[in-house]
Structure 1
Amino acid sequence: MALMNEPTAPYHAAQDALRVLETVARHAAGVTDAQIARRTGLTTERLTPLLRMLRREGYVEQITGGAYVTGDALARLGSAQGREEALRAHLQRTLDRLRDSVRAAVYISRYVDGEVRITQYAAGPGAPPVNEWVDFRESAHAHAVGKSLLTQLDHNGRRDHLSRHKMARLTSRTITSDKLLLSRLEAQPPTVPVLDLQEYAVGTVCAAVPITAGSSVGCLALSMPVEHAHRLRTAADALGRSAAPVLLSLAI
């Protein structure tokens, strides 16, 4: 399987954050933001939001005098023992915060062994999850998660997936022409969220952004009732800005 998209802004942010973490980890007694900037080559405008994000995620802490040291979250995720459990718990906290921030159900999905998999999600009374009335694995052509994952494959990878999964009409808005869908996927810019406007389920709208690292294909997505559709693009933009912490968690 080959990937198509150029690295997105969240990917670059995650890479910069890793450089910051490496610098902090090398200074057990603490390192100032000015020292981090010199060692990483990052500007203050670039570094300040990264440090804010790293503090919020628990990867760094500030000590007396303002210097930064590594935080508890980095120790937990960096440990070989119990890493998977720690990663899952950390991602769940991130998703829960994001759900409350965008007021929508949020999901992490991966493309594993040629299939769409929702690996984690956060929903609640004010942020209901999508009713999976058709198996997500069989309906990638219709929902934002599936289309975001397919955009990250090359042409042959997309054709292979569609050859294994019939493009059924789920609503009046569902694309059932493989030629039209492939054309849309080809034209989808990696920096623009993929939208699903009642293509999978009547009454539900969705958005998804890629979280691709190396050969791993994934996406971060949200869903909301159609009566909240006027908030979809704003929420999708917020989703894109929140992809970097998720990518960083997967990369550590």
Structure 2
Amino acid sequence: MGAPSGPTLIGSVQRAFRLLEAMSAHDNGAPAKQLARETDLPLATTYHLLRTLVHDGYVRKLDDGGFVLGDRLETLRSSGRAQTLLSRVRPALAALRDELSSAAYLTFYEDGEIRVAEIVDGPRAPRVDLWVGFEDAGHATALGKSVLRELDEEARREYLSRHHLADLTPRTITDPPELLRRLDTSPIAPAVTDMEEYALGTVCVAVPVYSGGTLGSLGVSLRADGRARLEDVGALLLPTAERVTRSLSLSI
């Protein structure tokens, strides 16, 4: 037998959307029979679609037998919102890249981890080879250290208790007290630097940004022979960081 025809598949998708739309009107959930009536779908079809949607996380079945929208839809909504926010700041990161001939990076501190949200690079501004994930290298990158510098003492201790300060290069700071001392005495604060601590041959500088109440950092990477520029680059980052923070804090 041949594969199901296109219209049949499209029809199934349309019926599933109708169920989701009907479900969205019931914050406390609705039983399958009610959803079938509201969508004018056969009960057997409704049950079949609901089982599939529950299995994939788009719908959640309650203990009383009702159905509500599932967590996966919220994840999609949140991801879409995040992409919309990032689209607002990419031009600022691209301008920074072009002005400094350096790759530009944006990170956020989410769920106790420092994560890269965006990298804007180019042929004349290549990104650093992220050979170790930022979640395991916050102590060795300017972007990670910028976040750590802004955290309060309790949050710093909690982060350091969960992360081994791996020796990534001969210049990496692996002693927590020494790391915190250097963060608190950065000569170009609020900017902080990475002096070949993450990757030999590369230096970085970063400053803090915020997306609403979420802390993050904005930074650029340079070849090691550009270390003399770091203080000036840090000063240039600050007004861009302010613009990024304003853009990220706007409601959609």
CA distance in 2, matches of 1:233, 1:226: 14
Change (3 A) 1:85 1:173: closer
Check conservation: 1:190, 1:210, Cα contact below 8 A: no
Provide runs of 4+ in structure 1 moved above 6 Å. none
CA distance in 1, matches of 2:222, 2:81: 32
* Residue 157 (structure 1) aligns with: 155
1:107 partnered with 2:105: yes
Task: Flag structure 2 segments of 5+ consecutive residues without an equivalent.
Answer: 1-79
Deviations 1:9-37 (A, max 9, x none): xxxxxxxxxxxxxxxxxxxxxxxxxxxxx
Check conservation: 1:222, 1:236, Cα contact below 8 A: no
CA distance in 2, matches of 1:126, 1:201: 19
* Residue 46 (structure 1) aligns with: none
Q: Identify the match of residue 243 of structure 1 among 229, 235, 241.
A: 241
Deviation at residue 190 of structure 1 after TM alignment: 8.7
Task: Flag structure 1 segments of 5+ consecutive residues without an equivalent.
Answer: 1-81
Deviations 1:132-162 (A, max 9, x none): 1111110111110110001111111111111
Deviations 1:61-91 (A, max 9, x none): xxxxxxxxxxxxxxxxxxxxx7544432221
CA distance in 1, matches of 2:81, 2:109: 21
Deviations 1:213-236 (A, max 9, x none): 653111111101112223222222
Q: For residue 174 of structure 2, give the secondary structure of its aligned residue in structure 1.
A: coil
Matching of residues 85-104 of structure 1 within 5 Å = 85-104=83-102
Q: Identify the match of residue 195 of structure 1 among 173, 183, 193.
A: 193
State TM-score, norm by structure 1.
Answer: 0.63
State the number of aligned residues: 171
Q: Identify the match of residue 147 of structure 1 among 142, 145, 148.
A: 145
State TM-score, norm by structure 2.
Answer: 0.63
Matching of residues 163-174 of structure 1 within 5 Å = 163-174=161-172
Check conservation: 1:142, 1:196, Cα contact below 8 A: yes
Change (3 A) 1:157 1:189: farther
* Residue 122 (structure 1) aligns with: 120
Matching of residues 3-152 of structure 1 within 5 Å = 84-152=82-150
* Residue 184 (structure 1) aligns with: 182
Check conservation: 1:206, 1:223, Cα contact below 8 A: yes
